Structure 1
Amino acid sequence: MPVVTFLQLNTIFLSMIMEAIPFILLGVIISGLIQTFLSERLIARILPRNRYLASLIGCGVGLFFPACECGIVPITRRLIRKGVPLHAGIAFMLTGPIINPIVLFATYIAFGNDWNMVLIRGGMAIVVAYFTAIVISYLYPKLPLRGMEGAGAEIAAGAESLAGERVRMPMRSRLYDVMLHAIDEFFSVGKYLVLGAFIAASMQTFIPTSTLLHIGSTPIAASLVMIGLAFIMSLCSEADAFIASSFRSTFSIGSLSAFLVFGPMIDIKNTLMLLAVFRGKFVLVLIALVAACTLASSLLVGRLMG
């Protein structure tokens, strides 16, 4: 491998790790707080039983969680293990990295203080996440989490008794418990981040972007190219709008919206983290649903804005 290529690979890899680490830390700390302070009874009271309403609420929760796609997976796993329905958890996981205020503001700045792209990105993210969550709710009545075979009722019963014990614990002990959970979650998810970042950096280094750009000559091909580019580049959702804006002279608003929505929902890094949390078949179904919904939505946006 030439020295220049190695240095490029190394630079991209390290920049991805450095960009993701703060959000992973934020994600695992929030996960620890959920585990320690949020009871199953409270979740059951807040969330409606209706799958359509629960998924809609899941889509909106991301407004209050400033986490990128790197940190959202551990939060989602903890919420689902605490009793949040799978469809509501998936809706939150898909929209969280896009509709939080930090990402929307970054999109506004990247596109020259233009609210149009902000509204397109946020609205399209909610549509894609909501439709995906509803389909998932019908396809997977049982949790597809790894290590959950036959343990659902046992975990729920044990968690309730633990929640009762935690209420009686002094605050210092509870905060110590938060840190223990956060550390455990960090090392559980962190190794997949490193592996995913290396694969993404390798693909960026050895697959010329010009090759992908040359393929996108029709609206469908352009959206598919931008979906593929978003997956390969694996950018943090706080930064991807600045990259997308550099393609404005080459691609339409429809295909740019595909890049801005698909990347934060599914990329190489979080695919590996998803595989650590969910069963492989479920992850494949989830990726296919998100890709199909993103493609259809981007074509609709392209037609309306064209």
Structure 2
Amino acid sequence: MNAPTRTAGPTPGGVPAPPRKGYRPGSLEIFGLVLVVAIVFRGPLATLLDRPAMQTWSTVFVAVVVQATPFLVLGVVVSGAIAAFVPARVFRRLMPEREALAVPVAGLCGVALPGCECGSVPIANRLMERGVPASAALAFLLSAPAVNPIVLVATAIAFPTEPGMVWARLIAGLLTAMVVGWIWQRIGRPDWMRPRPRFAEQESTGGWRVFLSTMLGDFAQAAGFLVVGAAAAAAFNVLARRWMDEHIASSIVLSILLMAALAFILALCSEADAFVAAAFSSIPVVGKLVFLTVGPAVDVKLVAMQAGTFGRRFTVRFAPLTFVVAIVIGTGVGLLFWGGRL
């Protein structure tokens, strides 16, 4: 016989409180557990790390993390400041009345206003609540994490020998946001999204509290994805380098498909993904651009966040559309820039 579910007592207003959720370890607890395991097994770990393959892996891993972390910190600080101190009505005043013109304006706002993928989803939701057309809000959602100044500077540093990568990423990111926005303007239906209040003017209070909570939350989430992405990039360089050189690097189609799939699965923060892409040294530069175009637009964490914010009916239509458009535009822009080198 199952034990009854424990529920909390009634609230002061007489309404029963929701059942208490079970304990879930946070990032600090998991980090502490990893440190304890590393200390306990330091002998076998030291022997393992003495191997040449592991030394190469650790070198690539540490290099990616160290290069990317300053940009990640700067990105979440700016994103938290926007979420806390810039009212959503400011964006609405910038939007033209014609929806077709509002889409590119929203995309250009993403260039000027830095934000990570995690922060762009709630911002887009607030914009739609205040009357901004869905197509324009979605264009901002896609452009803000892809082509903002922090991301472009990080890309320039990650690709010092490929200065064209910055311009290629800017063009591909903007085009992806605008094309998806224009397509959604034509095919999107209101009943595909969760109902939301219109023109709600109430803004959140407690700016500094919102700033700190947003910044810390975004950093904790994005840093975890950065570590996973850096580990995967290092593992690919050690374990699959020869296989990639023989089977993937020689095929532009396979490299594009592989990098698009990795961008979706790894779910990196856009402030750090350029350093991970640069670590795939055997992949053609067009494949790396596809990685940088797909990643900020659609990945596993964004699909989950969009389903929770806008509803499942929206996500099953918007995510595949964005994925296909990002691959096509990333490939097209890459061939325009580097087609002569294939």
1:277 equivalenced with 2:319 (yes/no): no
Q: 2:172 aligns with which of 124, 127, 145?
A: 124
Unpaired runs of 5+ in structure 1? 164-173
* Secondary structure at the counterpart of residue 296 of structure 2: helix
1:237 equivalenced with 2:274 (yes/no): no
After TM superposition, give the deviation of residue 226 of structure 1 in Å.
Answer: 0.3
Unpaired runs of 5+ in structure 2? 1-37, 49-56
Q: Where in structure 2 are the equivalents of 1:67-216 lying within 5 Å?
A: 67-112=115-160, 114-142=162-190, 144-145=192-193, 148-149=194-195, 152=196, 155-156=197-198, 159-160=200-201, 162=202, 176-179=205-208, 193=221, 197=225, 204=232, 210=240, 213=244, 214=247
> Does structure 1 retain, via aligned residues, the 8 Å contact 2:135–2:181?
yes
After TM superposition, give the deviation of residue 93 of structure 1 in Å.
Answer: 1.2
1:219 equivalenced with 2:252 (yes/no): yes
What whole-Å deviation, never above 9, does each CA across 1:127-171 have from its counterpart, x for those lacking one?
1111111111222242755xx43xx4xx336x24x47xxxxxxxx
> Does structure 2 retain, via aligned residues, the 8 Å contact 1:27–1:71?
yes
* Secondary structure at the counterpart of residue 95 of structure 1: helix
After TM superposition, give the deviation of residue 123 of structure 1 in Å.
Answer: 0.3
After TM superposition, give the deviation of residue 76 of structure 1 in Å.
Answer: 1.9
* Secondary structure at the counterpart of residue 156 of structure 1: coil
After TM superposition, give the deviation of residue 234 of structure 1 in Å.
Answer: 2.1
- CA separation in 2, counterparts of 1:95 and 1:219? 26
After TM superposition, give the deviation of residue 56 of structure 1 in Å.
Answer: 0.3
After TM superposition, give the deviation of residue 219 of structure 1 in Å.
Answer: 2.4
Distance 1:236 1:45, change over 3 A: closer
After TM superposition, give the deviation of residue 300 of structure 1 in Å.
Answer: 2.2
Identity of aligned residues (%): 28
- CA separation in 1, counterparts of 2:131 and 2:209? 21
- CA separation in 1, counterparts of 2:191 and 2:72? 28
> Does structure 2 retain, via aligned residues, the 8 Å contact 1:266–1:287?
yes
> Does structure 1 retain, via aligned residues, the 8 Å contact 2:128–2:134?
yes
> Does structure 2 retain, via aligned residues, the 8 Å contact 1:219–1:299?
no
Distance 1:184 1:56, change over 3 A: same
After TM superposition, give the deviation of residue 96 of structure 1 in Å.
Answer: 0.9
Task: Indicate the structure (1 or 2) with the bigger Cα radius of gyration.
Answer: 2
Q: CA RMSD of the aligned region, Å?
A: 4.0
Please report the TM-score for the alignment, with normalisation by the length of structure 1: 0.71
Which one scores higher on RCO, CA 8 angstroms, separation ≥ 6? 1
- CA separation in 2, counterparts of 1:244 and 1:180? 35
- CA separation in 2, counterparts of 1:130 and 1:242? 26
Q: 2:296 aligns with which of 264, 268, 290?
A: 264
Greater helix percent: which structure?
A: 1
Distance 1:17 1:75, change over 3 A: farther
> Does structure 2 retain, via aligned residues, the 8 Å contact 1:193–1:273?
no
